[in-house]
Structure 1
Amino acid sequence: MAGVSESPGRVLVAKPGLDGHDRGAKIVARALRDAGFEVVFTGIRQRVDDIVAIALQEDVAVVGLSILSGAHVALTTRTVEALRAAGAGDIAVVVGGTIPAADVPALEAAGAAAVFPTGTALDVIVTEVGALTASPAPP
């Protein structure tokens, strides 16, 4: 219907591992919400299995991992593998946080659909997540 705006999608913002710093994740979650996304925020110190269970329960299109602990490659790999094992390999995983440029190829090889190192502009994150949640136009 023309003129009716739909939500661009459901996104889970998660803080895996023992990282207790969530300010950046909350800022990203709010930017996505303000852009019209439905956002589910897990809070800090989440296990990968719990993140996957929440992603399935909430029927999200994207899981956004916020990682500042230095364990971004391992946690991203485990999350992507756990989603695939649960039959949810179609859920895109994006990762942001303290990520050295040298680690971006390893994250992409692990299955990350996008990587947002510290300092990535919020509008870039919103645009890229929007592209991942966009459904094809009907014929």
Structure 2
Amino acid sequence: MTRPIRVLVAKPGLDGHDRGAKVVAAALRDAGMEVIYTGLHQTPEMIATAAVQEDVDVVGLSILSGAHMTLFPRVRALLLEAGREDILLTGGGIIPKEDMDALNAQGIARLFGPGTSTQDLVDYIRTWFAAREQQIS
């Protein structure tokens, strides 16, 4: 890697549980990534704006509220509107497999459920970033 991977970790909606998001943010930081954590109660607009302003490579949403079928597509649409289709949109939470599949079909990257090791997430992001950097070169 020529530079650190920049990741924005966000908690959209009214869900007030952010322990998992903080654990993920710390694990990504420990893996050498630059992490911006936006905190609780972010709107999709706030998340997309922060992603563009911070020039991140990855946006990771943590959603436990059940609103994943609305929030992931909305953030994706806002990133596309901003011309940032190059940003990897991933995340996790309590998301049924069939919803994960439906979101993947809409352009949302791999989603991670409860019990996923943080190393799996780190490896996924590093692999994606390396492939993207290779395409750019």
TM-score, reference length from structure 1: 0.91
SS of equivalent to 1:136 = helix
Aligned residue among 83, 89, 113 for 1:87: 83
Q: Deviations over 1:89-119 (max 9, x none)?
A: 1111002011111211111012111110111
Larger radius of gyration: 1
Aligned residue in 2 for 1:23: 19
Give the 4+ runs in structure 1 shifted more than 4 A: none
Change (3 A) 1:138 1:82: closer
Q: Which runs of 5+ in 1 are unaligned?
A: none
Please give the alpha-carbon distance, in whole angstroms, between the structure 2 residues aligned to 1:138 and 1:30.
28
SS of equivalent to 1:11 = strand
Please give the alpha-carbon distance, in whole angstroms, between the structure 2 residues aligned to 1:58 and 1:71.
25
Between the aligned residues of both structures, percent identity stands at 52
Please give the alpha-carbon distance, in whole angstroms, between the structure 2 residues aligned to 1:137 and 1:118.
32
> CA shift at 1:138, angstroms?
8.5
Matched, 1:98 2:94: yes
> CA shift at 1:78, angstroms?
0.4
> CA shift at 1:6, angstroms?
4.8
Please give the alpha-carbon distance, in whole angstroms, between the structure 2 residues aligned to 1:61 and 1:50.
17
What is the aligned-residue RMSD (CA, Å)?
1.6
Q: Which runs of 5+ in 2 are unaligned?
A: none
TM-score, reference length from structure 2: 0.92
More helix by share: 2
* 124-133 or 36-45, which deviates more: 124-133
